[in-house]
Structure 1
Amino acid sequence: MFFFIFRDIKIAFQNFYRNLWLFLVTIIIIVLALFSVNLLIVLNVLTNISVEVIKEKIDISVYFKPEASEEQIYSIKSRLEVLPEVKNARYLSKKEALEWFQKNHENDPKILEALQGLEDNPLGDSLIIRAKKISDYKTILNILDEKQYNNFIYDKNFGDYENYIDQLNLISKKIQQIILIISLAFILIGILVILNTVRITIYARREEIRIMKLVGATNWFIKVPFILETVICAIFAFLFSIILFYPFLNIIQPLIFGFLKNYDFNIVTYFNQHFLQIFGWQFVCIIILSIISGSVAIKKYLKI
C-alpha cells in the first residue's frame, strides 16, 4: 500500500514540475487570498486592542471647590466605594488635581493658557473614579449630579469614551463581515482557478492518459495524481503565505506600537501564540478545498 502511495506522490510531483508555470498562477491566487484574510485578521485584532486601551483610560475626574472640606470629599469617596459599579476611587491633592486637569486638557490650549495666567491654583482637591464597566459610569454620574453635592463640586470631566468604543466595536463587526465576504470570494476564485488548472492539465496530457488506458492503467491510477497535484499546490501556497506574512508583521510592528501609544502589544507574538487557531484552520480549509475542487474537475473533464 505504501508503495502505491509513494508512487502516486512521485507521479504528482513530476507532473507538478512539468506544469510548474501553470500551477504557479494558482499558487499566487491562493497566497493573495490567505494574505488578504490574514491582513484583515490583523485589523480586527488592532481594533479589539484599541477598545481595551480606551477602556483602561476611562475614568471620571471630579474637581472640588477650594472651600470643600476633606470631610465632605471623603464622604463622597466612601459613598462611591461601596457601590458595586465602582472599581476604585482615588483622592488627589490640589497640586495633583491641577496636574491631572492639565493632562486631561493637554489638547485644549485655551484652557491651559487660562491656567497659566492665574497666580494661584484655582482647583481644589479631586477624586479620580473608575467603574467596573463602561455602562456603570452613568450611575456614578447620576450620583455626583445630586443637588447635595452642587455646592462643593467644581467640575466633572468624563470624555466621550463610550461613543469611541461604540464606533470601534462597529468597525470590528464590519471588519469581521469583510473577512467573511472576502474569504468566501477567494474560496470561489480558488475553486474556479483550480478547476481551470486541472482542466488545462488534463487537456495537455490527453494523449498520455489515452496511452495509459491502452496499457491497462486503472481509473484510480490516473485520477489520484491530479488530486495530489492540487494538494501540493495548496501546501506550497500555504507555506509561501506564511513566509511572506511574518516579515510583513515585523515591518508593521513599529507602526502598531506608535498607534497604540506605547501599549505593550506585539503583533508577531500574538500570531505566534495563536498560530494553530489562525493558520491551522487555513491549512485544513485550503487542503479540503483543493481536494474537492480537484475531484469535481476530474469528474467533469476527465472522460475515462
Structure 2
Amino acid sequence: MRIAFMGSPDFAVPALRALHDAGHEIAAVYTQPPRPAGRGHRETPCPVHRAALDLGLEVRTPARVKRDITQHDAFAALNLDAAVVAAYGLILPKPMLDAPKRGCLNIHASLLPRWRGAAPIHAAILAGDAESGVTIMRMEEGLDTGPMLLKEATPIGPDTTVQVLHDALSEIGARLILRALAEDPPATPQPEAGVTYAAKLTKEDGRLDWSLDAAALERRVRALNPWPGTFFVHSGEQIRILAARIEPGSGTPGTLLDDTALVATGSGALRLLRLQRPGRAAMDADAFLRGFAMPRGAALD
C-alpha cells in the first residue's frame, strides 16, 4: 500500500519501522523541522526524521501546512492510498485529510473518547485510570473526534511510570496500524458520553502542590518525569523529584516530618526517594541528604 507517514517523537518510531518492515511503500515521511538542541544549540532532527533517514526514506519538514496551498498540492500529488499520523505536531487541513483514498489514520495513545488532546499518556496516570490503550482513528477536522477503527487496552499498575506506559502504547500502536491497513475494519463513531481532554503540559505543571493528597502527588511524579519534571523549591533551589512513595503521616502540607525526606501532604505523606539539584546528578534520597540539608520541620515550597 502506498502511504505517507507523519510523526515526530520517539512514540511514532516503532510504527514507522513496522510499516517499512511490512513492505508498505512509504512515499514520504513528514516530521517537525529540526530544532536547536544541546549546549551548542545545533539544529537537530527529531527521532522520526532520524529513523526515516536510516531507512532511506524521503523526509519532508514543513514548518506549517494548514494554510499553505503548495503543501496541500504536494501532498495530494503523492497519490496515496492512506496516510498514517502519530504525534506529528501539526494540524492537518481538510484538503490534506481528504487527499489519501482511505484518509488519514491516526495512532492515538488513549482509549477514545477518553483523553482527546495533546498529553493523553500523562493524563491517564494523573487521573489514576486503571487502564490506557491505543485507538486507531480516521481523522477529521475536529480534535481527535474521528470515527474509530481499532482499539487495544493495557493496564496501568500502581508503579507504572509515563515512560513505561509510553513504550507499551508505542508498540501497541505499531501493531494496530498494520492491522488497520490490512483489514480495513468498519469505522465506529465515538460515543458522546465519556469525552475528556488532556491539555498540553507546561513546566509549571510539574510544581507540586503539597495540599493535594499523597496519592495524587505520587501519580504526578510517575506521570510527569522526565518532562516537564516534578519539583519543589527549598533554600532557593528548585529540586526535582524523580521517585516517591506514599507513606502514613500527617502535618502541615509541605512540612518535613523527619530527617529522611518524608513530606506531609493534604492527606497522608510522601516519601521522596530520588532527587536532583540543578546541574547535578540524580541521587537516592539518603545520598542527596548528605549534601543538602532538609531537616525535620522545614517547609518545602
| Fold shared by both chains (TM-score > 0.5) | no
The structure carrying a bigger strand percent of its residues is: 2
- Larger CA Rg, structure 1 vs 2: 1
Q: State TM-score, norm by structure 1.
A: 0.16
The structure carrying a bigger helix percent of its residues is 1
Taking CA–CA contacts closer than 8 Å with sequence separation of 6 or more, which of the two structures ends up with the larger relative contact order?
Answer: 1
